[in-house]
Structure 1
Amino acid sequence: METTTTEYTNHPCFGIAARKQFGRLHLPVAPRSNAKVRFTSNARPQPAMMPEEALSWMEQVIDNGMDIDIVGITGPGDPLASPEPVIRTLRMVRETYPDMKLCLTSIGLNGAMHAPELADIGLSHITLLVDAVDPAVAEKLYAWVRPSTKTVSLEEGVRKLLDEQAAAVSAFSKAGITVKVNTTVYPSINAGHVESVAKTVSELGASMMAVVPYIPTEENHEISRTDQGLLSTVRECAAAHINLMPAWDECGESIVGTEMKKPSMGGVTVLPKPTPERPNVAVVSSNGMDVDLHLGHAAQVMIYGPREDGLACLLEVRDAPEPGSGVNRWKQLSSMLSDCFVLLAASAGERPRDVLSRNGISVLITDGGIEGTVDVLYGGGKKGKKKNTI
């Protein structure tokens, strides 16, 4: 007879009733993926937010009356593929909200080396995505695995992944962090293998397991959806080795609090706001009408701000620092824009976004008209004719 854990009944992320009662906020600050399952969506993920932007969004969500009990980092990439912005975000949340529960979801590559630091921050629990413990099964699941920035063969990548997943389960458990393993049941691929996964991760120190059905994406129908009968059978087998979460109930980066949507200019208000110290908006444009330039290609920056009567208008145009000096170029730009709270660009690299964000300037990626977008930033109701997106 299948059993489930009761130890974490009232935890915000464990148990159906608890997950409906507690507010959760997923901060999309993980910029890079280090593996891809063959049967998942091929859609390009949205760009990650900078840590400072994520904290600002969180503060707005809470100021707007949402009760948030736990903050998680689940995407858009893997939190441990580029750990620096993720750890920086967690530290800022911990400093701002000392009693907030923190968690993250990862496949586990690089996990063991970061377990002590994450324990020091006070991570409540980690969810590790483990779909196989046998390389032969894993090779059928993954399209590619990239343990570092260097491309390796699928065979080498899969073996590295399984070794590091095992090390991560053990390291997080020993560090005092609750380890939950999510295993997706792919019919005809790993359904008969899930019991081995449960036994292995339990012996390594995992506290519980969630058995998740595979749901095909619109563009991927290579294998069928996991039916309820198969899911029940797999759960019965897994439950012989590890405590199971109650029947699967979706938890992911799309869940914000109990109702709110992911941040976007057209949805939840996540826009940076002017301050007395930083009242202006910086814009890069080729024609003076649309936000249509990559930040790295901009020779000039247009500065918009409020006039004496309060209406926003073009105040001046400043020459951007010359390219070729690497990170110093973005430091110079940050200094040059010390009176600006946001910079609008059609696209921008991760390095300039990081440098500008650390210096108090959010980079808003948009293809909207300048007049409409600036109006929105100052609280107006008018938007550019084109879609504005972060």
Structure 2
Amino acid sequence: MKLPVLNDEKTESAGGCSSSGCGSSASAMDHLPDTIRDKVANHPCFSEQAHHYFARMHVAVAPACNIQCNYCNRKYDCSNESRPGVVSEVLSPAQAVKKVKAVAAAIPQMSVLGIAGPGDPLANPQRTFETFRRLSEEAPDIKLCVSTNGLNLPACAEEISKHNIDHVTITINCVDPEIGARIYPWIFWENRRIRGVEAARILIEQQQKGLEMLIERGVLVKVNSVMIPGINDEHLKEVSRIVKEKGAFLHNVMPIIAEAEHGTYFGLTGQREPTAAELEALQDACAGDMNMMRHCRQCRADAVGLLGEDRGEEFTLDKIDAMEVDYEAAMVQRAEVQQQLLAQLNSQRNKLQNQVQEQPIRILPPSRPVKMAVATKGGGIINQHFGHATEFLVYEASQKGVRFIGHRQVDKPYCEGGSSCGDDGETVLQSIVRQLEDCEVLLCSKVGYEPWSALEEAGIQPDGEHAMEPIEEAVQAVYQQMLARGLAEKPADQQQSLSQLQTA
């Protein structure tokens, strides 16, 4: 997709739209075969567009794990934390099925059910596959997914292909055993605990073999990788290259969570987390070899709802027991709702493309990309007050198009913290502004006087004029306004260097 703005800047050969997600986020999937696009059309974890419209849920039926990761500490009864491995209730397969049907009836846009822990699903194969077997029979309209560390994947690949499971996520943090030994202290393999480089070598071999077996069986594979600065950050470029060569469809590079209060080895030993800029740079570097997932929220193992929200407290076992669910009737309603959502998604995508094609072509000076933060409650719309936002989505607009960069979580919403200070003396508002310091525009439904002033002082222009508008459409419109006013031109020294390069 081309924007209706031309200049003398040559098209960059690296990171084109087919690999890096340039252009609208809708077009990032356009080059894929129809079979794959159909599979991910309403999958919020595999499709960036779908995550605005469709919900997911995880059921925690797999408590045991067969490896130890230095960034992991599985906890139970911890409803205030949102990170992998954390759950409030571990369910039996029967309880899980009952919960899924209750959630699906209450949230018709819930399209995907995943098992992701709190341990490893394939280290608990009986519980995991009993849940999947029953769901494929009793709730056949729900997509089924499993996330695994991959150690037992080759042994389970055939069983996966027997069920209605056509989406699998494998966490692959390295392909070098020396690096793996710094991430995994041990694995439990063939009834014994193995440590060090040998453990990492076995894990890597099993992961790669399992990936190949899934691809042979037509299963769609996403690879998750945890970015650990100083350990595997540069190495993940090689991981991305290899898993793509073997047929993985999507790569999700996510930041390590290493707060000391979580009690992980890395947290207690001072391993730092990557900055937003470092994560974005690594994702961009990997994007040349792989479609990148940038909307991951590193969900709890019992998450319910849209990505970025968690409605799990509405569906505890005691509350589900009081619900009467007619799932046959619910499936009819779910089909209608999801068809409407898909129609909305496709309509918005077509509208954006048509607007671009219909606008007159203008010649403008070479321009630079601009990052914009967005406050949204979901639905792909700018529909949230600045003070209520618990996270902000970040988009980059350029003359190549609009692309989603990632999300920035905040410790607490401004309206809950106001001018109160944390342990480091930083106010809630100051913390939010710091999180968005690389953005030039903030799009939201409303924003108060105090945060407006603070944002402007930090060089971030608040904008409430596009409330209730589709996000990409609004980001593109603001960028066009900036181009017309000369606010997005490349600095003179960059223009001169570009001119010299083109002349040469």
- For the aligned pair, the TM-score class normalised by the smaller chain equals 0.5 to 0.7
Q: Mapping of 1:186-225 within 5 angstroms?
A: 186-217=228-259, 218=261, 219=263, 220=267, 222-225=270-273
1:117 alignment partner in structure 2? 159
Structure 1 residue 225, shift from structure 2 partner: 1.3
> Is 2:53–2:109's contact at 8 Å kept on the other side of the alignment?
no
Mark the CA change 1:236 to 1:264 in structure 2 (over 3 Å): closer, same or farther: closer
User: Could you tell me which amino acid in structure 2 is paired with residue 67 of structure 1?
Assistant: Q
1:269 to 293, 296, 319: 319
2:378 alignment partner in structure 1? none
Q: Does 1:18 align with 2:18?
A: no
Which is bigger in relative contact order (C-alpha 8 A, separation at least 6)? 2
2:125 alignment partner in structure 1? 83
Consecutive unaligned residues of structure 2, counting only runs of 5 or more, are 1-13, 22-27, 77-85, 325-504
Choose between structure 1 and 2: higher helix proportion.
2
Q: Does 1:38 align with 2:80?
A: no
Give a deviation string over 1:84-114, Cα, whole Å, max 9, x none: 1101101100001122111011011111222
Mark the CA change 1:72 to 1:266 in structure 2 (over 3 Å): closer, same or farther: closer
CA distance, structure 2, for counterparts of residue 60 and residue 144 of structure 1: 38
Mark the CA change 1:70 to 1:192 in structure 2 (over 3 Å): closer, same or farther: same
> Is 1:28–1:75's contact at 8 Å kept on the other side of the alignment?
yes
Structure 1 residue 264, shift from structure 2 partner: 8.6
Q: Does 1:255 align with 2:312?
A: no
Q: TM-score, normalised by structure 2?
A: 0.50
Structure 1 residue 268, shift from structure 2 partner: 7.3
1:229 alignment partner in structure 2? 277
CA distance, structure 1, for counterparts of residue 253 and residue 92 of structure 2: 32
CA distance, structure 2, for counterparts of residue 135 and residue 260 of structure 1: 36
User: Could you tell me which amino acid in structure 2 is paired with residue 77 of structure 1?
Assistant: G
Give a deviation string over 1:9-31, Cα, whole Å, max 9, x none: 73422233311311212111112
Structure 1 residue 48, shift from structure 2 partner: 2.9
CA distance, structure 2, for counterparts of residue 183 and residue 52 of structure 1: 32
CA distance, structure 1, for counterparts of residue 103 and residue 175 of structure 2: 39
Give a deviation string over 1:359-389, Cα, whole Å, max 9, x none: xxxxxxxxxxxxxxxxxxxxxxxxxxxxxxx
1:105 alignment partner in structure 2? 147
Q: Mapping of 1:240-251 within 5 angstroms?
A: 240-251=288-299
Mark the CA change 1:158 to 1:17 in structure 2 (over 3 Å): closer, same or farther: same
Q: Does 1:27 align with 2:59?
A: yes
CA distance, structure 2, for counterparts of residue 261 and residue 147 of structure 1: 36
> Is 1:25–1:68's contact at 8 Å kept on the other side of the alignment?
yes
Mark the CA change 1:65 to 1:132 in structure 2 (over 3 Å): closer, same or farther: closer
Structure 1 residue 140, shift from structure 2 partner: 0.6
CA distance, structure 2, for counterparts of residue 92 and residue 215 of structure 1: 34
Q: TM-score, normalised by structure 1?
A: 0.64
CA distance, structure 2, for counterparts of residue 272 and residue 76 of structure 1: 26
Structure 1 residue 263, shift from structure 2 partner: 6.0
Moved more, 176-185 or 16-25: 16-25
CA distance, structure 2, for counterparts of residue 266 and residue 188 of structure 1: 40
Structure 1 residue 262, shift from structure 2 partner: 3.3
Give a deviation string over 1:187-236, Cα, whole Å, max 9, x none: 01101100110111112221110111122232415211111222122122
Give a deviation string over 1:15-57, Cα, whole Å, max 9, x none: 3331131121211111211112213336456563110111111
CA distance, structure 2, for counterparts of residue 121 and residue 95 of structure 1: 10
Mark the CA change 1:71 to 1:42 in structure 2 (over 3 Å): closer, same or farther: closer
Structure 1 residue 256, shift from structure 2 partner: 0.7
User: Could you tell me which amino acid in structure 2 is paired with residue 262 of structure 1?
Assistant: G
Structure 1 residue 249, shift from structure 2 partner: 3.9
CA distance, structure 2, for counterparts of residue 179 and residue 40 of structure 1: 23
1:317 alignment partner in structure 2? none
CA distance, structure 1, for counterparts of residue 298 and residue 171 of structure 2: 14
Give a deviation string over 1:270-292, Cα, whole Å, max 9, x none: 34889xxxxxxxxxxxxxxxxxx
User: Could you tell me which amino acid in structure 1 is paired with residue 63 of structure 2?
Assistant: P
User: Could you tell me which amino acid in structure 2 is paired with residue 10 of structure 1?
Assistant: A
Aligned pairs, number: 274
Give a deviation string over 1:101-135, Cα, whole Å, max 9, x none: 11011011111222122122121210100000000
User: Could you tell me which amino acid in structure 2 is paired with residue 232 of structure 1?
Assistant: E
2:104 alignment partner in structure 1? 62
Partner-residue secondary structure (3-state), 2:312:
coil
CA distance, structure 2, for counterparts of residue 60 and residue 266 of structure 1: 10
Q: Does 1:139 align with 2:177?
A: no
Structure 1 residue 237, shift from structure 2 partner: 2.3
1:160 alignment partner in structure 2? 202
Give a deviation string over 1:317-364, Cα, whole Å, max 9, x none: xxxxxxxxxxxxxxxxxxxxxxxxxxxxxxxxxxxxxxxxxxxxxxxx
User: Could you tell me which amino acid in structure 2 is paired with residue 140 of structure 1?
Assistant: R
Mark the CA change 1:245 to 1:203 in structure 2 (over 3 Å): closer, same or farther: same
**Identity between Structure 1 and Structure 2 (%):** 27
Structure 1 residue 266, shift from structure 2 partner: 6.7
Mark the CA change 1:122 to 1:201 in structure 2 (over 3 Å): closer, same or farther: same
CA RMSD of aligned residues (A): 2.6
Give a deviation string over 1:148-193, Cα, whole Å, max 9, x none: 4422233332111000000011011111000100111100110110
